[in-house]
Structure 1
Amino acid sequence: MLASVGVSGNPELEGAFATIARERFVGPPPWQMSKGGGYSALTSSDPVVLYQDVLIALAPERGVNNGSPSLHAHWLNALAPRAGERAVHIGAGTGYYSAILARLVGAEGHVVAVEFDPALAAQAKANLRDLPNVTVVQGDGADWPRESADCIYVNFSVVRPAAAWLERLRAGGRLIFPLGVPGPVQTRGRGRHSLRGAGYRIERRGGGFAVSWLGAAFFVCAEGALSGTKEEHEALCAAFDRGGAEFVRSLLLDEAAAERLWLQGDGWSLSYDEVAE
């Protein structure tokens, strides 16, 4: 799987995916697979089916899934968690990728897994109870982390990064999150997902926040404080319409020259300029 997404030479990540049993985190069969905006039941109850590159429903009435292993392998490779680091997983669901993060940071590291939905947070706490280096929190992802972190991994779509993610990212720390234009609210178990979206990796450097594009990404949309305003949705949609999302190189705070920006937010922006070293 790692080779299929261009990841090589990462035995720690390969070992984490090989060791953590996905079936522990997706509930008992029959499982539902997300496909084409809806869900279909998997006819087999053999856990081997869960090791295909598929999205498995966690809360289908809200469109919440255990996401694509290939995408997460690609993103976790880019996040590059290291032994002993403090990681924060925001939008943890039932804890599968939290467990993989816990394996990557090791016994000397720590993972805080944050989940907005109380039922999913309770499942994550039960699923991760045997991992002493994981703390599960039920809360709004906009409020976390509350202490400095080396890695912040966000698994829902937002129209802006939360202030806490940027403020508490340590020097050399990495943040990955999906930026996305919310689609319409759906019924019949589809939830609300981004219509257009991209994943970004942010690294805090001495001169600011360096950005790299991780490709297109379509996640369930944020609830709570990060759901965004109509004006933010429209501004992000216009930015995607203009193109150039893949050429963003820095995240700026405060004001910046408009002609070099891909997206201007309230007190922040995404720019084509490289971060000064």
Structure 2
Amino acid sequence: MELAKMRRRFAREMLAIGGVTGNERLENAFAHVPREKFLGPGRWHILTPWSHLNVDERDPALVYQDVVIALDEDRGVNNGSPSLHARWLDAVAPQPGERVAHIGAGTGYYSAILAELVEAEGHVTAVDYDPGCAGRAKENLANRANVDVVQDNGCFWPKEKSDVVYVNFGIPRPAVPWIENLNPGGRLIFPLGVPSSASSRGGAMNAITIAVRRLDSGFAAWSGCPVSFIFAEGLTPAPGNDEIKNLSHCLRKGGWERVKSLVWKQPADRAHCWYVGPDWALSYIAVAA
């Protein structure tokens, strides 16, 4: 009973910190999923803006706060900021019966929350590149009939039409299936960014949130606050230096908050774009609903 109260208080606090109001379904999802189940064996390495704390005593009270917990310290993988995910989940608003692709699912904590939101008639495909994380996610989510776990390169998923694509690693461009397998009205959210070095593996991120909705006339888009995510592993094809340099320049100059649409595989007017990639762009011009 005390743990249930703790999870409920945690859910309310994470939504409040994330600026989310009036979303009872999301609050319930956070309150129902046991975060400690997804953290693996051994001591917990709790990361805060001020300290790194190794905890031998596995007291759930320590993880029901706005902290991240390391899952693989060598690769820089952690359990994610719950207040950030509260904001993102509210933005994409998974509904009962919808199909969700969770790309970069880690050990499955937010996959479980997504599964709560789409309910029994919906479905979540949780994809992770790392065999260790994918194996742990399979164990953690084994009791959820509406979730499948796949170990694969997330840039190749989803392989069928989806209502939500929820991406948890930084990348310098959206993968083709994330865009082209969105249903009408479907939502995509991902961290657009560059690695801290020329390597495509690990490292601190310089990224922003990009959210996309598929409309009949194109793709509406908006950008959010800067975020920090591990960079994509197994990125295929690898981004060229020009692509990374151009995106780095745009991130440094700012102005992403005025983005209103994503231009996909068609000519873009550079004069009205925040960023122009090889076959896509983020434009200041809105598309008709």
TM class, shorter-length: over 0.9
Say whether residues 1:3 and 2:8 are aligned partners.
no
2:4 match: none
Structure 1 distance, partners of 2:35, 2:239, is 32
1:219 match: 229
Deviation at 1:36, TM superposition (A): 5.5
- TM-score of the pair, normalised by structure 1: 0.94
1:125 match: 138
2:5 match: none
Of 235, 257, 260, the match for 1:246: 257
Where does the alignment leave 5 or more consecutive residues of structure 1 unmatched? none
SS of the counterpart of 2:165?
Answer: strand
Contact 2:106 2:137 in 1 (8 A): yes
Structure 2 distance, partners of 1:18, 1:29, is 24
Deviation at 1:54, TM superposition (A): 0.6
Structure 1 residues 122 and 80 mapped into 2: Cα distance closer, same or farther (>3 Å)? same
Say whether residues 1:181 and 2:191 are aligned partners.
no
256-265 or 101-110, larger mean C-alpha shift:
256-265
Instruction: Write out per-residue CA displacement over residues 171-224 of structure 1, whole angstroms, 9 at most, x where no aligned residue.
Output: 0000000011210379xxx94121x21101100001111011221111000011
Structure 2 distance, partners of 1:213, 1:47, is 34
Deviation at 1:45, TM superposition (A): 2.2
Matched letter for residue 275 of structure 2: L
41-50 or 106-115, larger mean C-alpha shift:
41-50
SS of the counterpart of 2:208?
Answer: strand
Higher relative contact order (CA 8 A, sep 6+): 1
Say whether residues 1:262 and 2:245 are aligned partners.
no
Matched letter for residue 204 of structure 1: R
Structure 1 residues 37 and 205 mapped into 2: Cα distance closer, same or farther (>3 Å)? farther
Deviation at 1:256, TM superposition (A): 1.1
Deviation at 1:28, TM superposition (A): 2.9
Root mean square deviation of aligned Cα: 1.8
Contact 1:185 1:191 in 2 (8 A): no
Of 109, 112, 116, the match for 1:99: 112
Structure 2 distance, partners of 1:191, 1:112, is 24
Structure 1 distance, partners of 2:19, 2:65, is 17
Structure 1 distance, partners of 2:24, 2:128, is 28
SS of the counterpart of 1:61?
Answer: coil
Deviation at 1:114, TM superposition (A): 0.2
SS of the counterpart of 1:259?
Answer: helix
SS of the counterpart of 1:145?
Answer: coil
Aligned residues: 273
Instruction: Write out per-residue CA displacement over residues 122-164 of structure 1, whole angstroms, 9 at most, x where no aligned residue.
Output: 0000000000000000000110000000000000000000011
Of 133, 138, 141, the match for 2:151: 138
Deviation at 1:75, TM superposition (A): 0.4
Structure 2 distance, partners of 1:271, 1:177, is 17
SS of the counterpart of 1:231?
Answer: helix
- TM-score of the pair, normalised by structure 2: 0.90
Deviation at 1:37, TM superposition (A): 10
Say whether residues 1:57 and 2:79 are aligned partners.
no
Contact 1:145 1:165 in 2 (8 A): yes
